[in-house]
């Protein structure tokens, strides 16, 4: 399959001669993707980051046998047969506190007052909880019940044994992972570098986010949306502000220092659509025009070491094209899974969805009483179709759609 069609020749105002299939676009993209290099960072900042190398523990946790209850450390044998009517007296020879162990060793008939987490003294093999003793005095206590060997004792290495493989490469670190790593003495970790993603939001009609739209000017919807998507996928956002539809400004933004450049707007074949020709001039644009709806005027290319994504300005197209292509790339560069971070749910279609053969469709849907209701909107400009919608259904290019009553996969936004 030839993915090079349309590359390099200026298609402005002529329309796309031929559109690439989504599969061809993904095949080109996937061939470009390799996780970035690694960097060492402090453990405290590592939540959500991706491990670049496996981690093996070189410590036992805990590093010593310890009490798991407050009470008396004893030789279990010496409590055998103890009941409320047959109290067995024990001589209290000292105390073991967390971080301050009892220094001596303990014989049958003796006891050491011990707190949860404190080291079990030499000679002891169980902890008699306070509730199973009387409070006879400072240097004497009676057992009211027997304890068996090992009772209320946490063994050395019971959580982590030295030599255990803790986490594999590629693990997205959870808060509790940081706790485990810290508990074996690790203070910094090697993680995959986050891709630096330059957002290039273009359009002379745009006002910066936070501006009230007025006259024929509209407030930027794609900048904040893309920034959040890039963050979600593990990228580092660089968004210095809107870029006018101007060759010089656009060229500068396209060649900024970045791993990924995402352009919103001006990706199609109109006179204002400068980005495709500029990418082809500065680098290569092997994919431009994709057989999907929305997002057909999407382009994928490279400029030097940067992957460049030309996303349509229509906000729904922008979201859809991001999710199909840019998000996948950012996740892969960040060492994460290429799959969508959306959960899929199988449910019954309340009404039919039709689709043109030869084109993939991205249909926003609502879940109403467990059934899938397509949202009846025409174009890609109505972003609220994705905020009212619970998710989307993909109709593959080789399908004419789904009949009412069919079971379909819904990808849930939340
Ligand atoms: P374009 O892809 O530049 O042809 O833009 C297609 C449509 O999306 C036009 O109606 C634009 O005004 C609109 N649009 C472009 N960029 C944005 C943006 N950042 N936020 C909201 N709408 C946009
Ligand atoms: Mg535009």
The pLDDT tens digits for 126-160 are 999 999 999 767 899 999 999 999 999 999 999 99
35 CB within 6 A, ligand 1: no
| Residue pLDDT, tens place only, 25-38 | 999 999 999 999 99
pLDDT-based confidence at residue 11 (cuts at 50, 70, 90): low
| Residue pLDDT, tens place only, 182-207 | 999 999 999 999 999 999 999 999 99
CA distance 310 to 302: 11
314 CB within 6 A, ligand 1: yes
Q: What is the CA radius of gyration of the chain?
A: 32
pLDDT for 134 equals 94
296 CB within 6 A, ligand 1: no
Mean pLDDT of 68-80: 98
Say what percent of the chain tops pLDDT 90.
92
Helices (H) and strands (E) in the chain, counts: 8, 27
> Ligand 2 center to residue 301 CA distance, Å?
19
Q: pTM of the predicted model, to two decimals?
A: 0.91
* Phi, psi (degrees; rounded to nearest 5) at 384: -65, -15
Average pLDDT, the chain: 95
Q: Hey, which of 12, 15, 202, 203 would you mutate to test ligand 1's pocket, going by the most ligand atoms within 8 Å of its Cβ?
A: 203
> Which of the ligands is closest to the CA of residue 206?
1
Distances 98 to 5, 17, 57, 102, 222 between C-alpha atoms, Å: 71, 75, 23, 10, 55
- How many residues would you count in the chain? 414
pLDDT-based confidence at residue 9 (cuts at 50, 70, 90): very low
- Residue 225 corresponds to which tokens in the numbers above? 């949306």
Q: Note whether 301 and 293 are within 8 A (CB).
A: no
209 CB within 6 A, ligand 1: no
- Residue 331 corresponds to which tokens in the numbers above? 């996740």
DSSP assigned state of 79? G
Token pair 């400029």 in the structure block, residue: 303
313 CB within 6 A, ligand 1: yes
pLDDT for 12 equals 59
């Amino acid at each position: 399959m030839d993915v090079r069609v349309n590359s390099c020749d200026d298609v402005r105002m002529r329309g796309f001669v031929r559109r690439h299939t989504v599969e061809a676009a993904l095949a080109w993209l996937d061939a470009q993707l390799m996780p970035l290099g690694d960097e060492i960072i402090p453990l405290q900042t590592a939540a959500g980051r991706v491990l670049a190398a496996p981690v093996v523990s070189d410590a036992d946790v805990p590093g010593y046998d310890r009490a798991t209850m407050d009470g008396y450390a004893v030789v279990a044998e010496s409590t055998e047969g103890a009941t409320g009517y047959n109290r067995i007296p024990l001589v209290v020879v000292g105390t073991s506190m967390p971080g301050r162990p009892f220094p001596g060793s303990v014989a049958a008939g003796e006891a050491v007052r011990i707190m949860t987490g404190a080291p079990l003294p030499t000679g002891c093999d169980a902890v008699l909880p306070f509730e199973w003793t009387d409070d006879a005095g400072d240097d004497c206590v009676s057992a009211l019940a027997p304890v068996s060997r090992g009772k209320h004792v946490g063994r050395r290495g019971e959580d982590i044994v030295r030599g255990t493989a803790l986490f594999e490469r590629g693990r997205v670190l959870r808060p509790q992972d940081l706790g485990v790593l810290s508990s074996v003495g690790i203070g910094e970790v090697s993680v995959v570098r986050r891709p630096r993603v330059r957002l290039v939001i273009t359009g002379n009609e745009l006002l910066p986010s936070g501006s009230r739209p007025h006259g024929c000017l509209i407030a930027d919807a794609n900048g904040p949306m893309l920034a959040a998507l890039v963050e979600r996928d593990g990228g580092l956002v660089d968004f210095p502000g809107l870029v006018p539809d101007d060759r010089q400004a656009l060229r500068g933004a396209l060649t900024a220092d970045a791993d990924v450049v995402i352009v919103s707007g001006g990706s199609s074949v109109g006179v204002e659509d400068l980005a495709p020709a500029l990418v082809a001039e500065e680098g290569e644009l092997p994919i431009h025009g994709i057989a999907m709806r929305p997002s057909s005027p999407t382009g994928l290319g490279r400029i030097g070491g940067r992957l460049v994504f030309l996303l349509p300005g229509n906000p729904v197209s922008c979201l859809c094209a991001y999710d199909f292509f840019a998000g996948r790339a950012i996740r892969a560069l960040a060492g994460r899974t290429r799959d969508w971070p959306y959960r899929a749910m199988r449910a019954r279609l309340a009404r039919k969805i039709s689709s043109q053969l030869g084109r993939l469709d991205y249909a926003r849907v609502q879940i109403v009483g467990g059934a899938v209701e397509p949202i009846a909107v025409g174009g890609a400009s109505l972003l609220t179709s994705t905020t009212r919608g619970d998710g989307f259904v993909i109709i593959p290019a080789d399908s004419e759609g789904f009949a009412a009553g069919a079971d379909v996969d819904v990808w849930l936004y939340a």
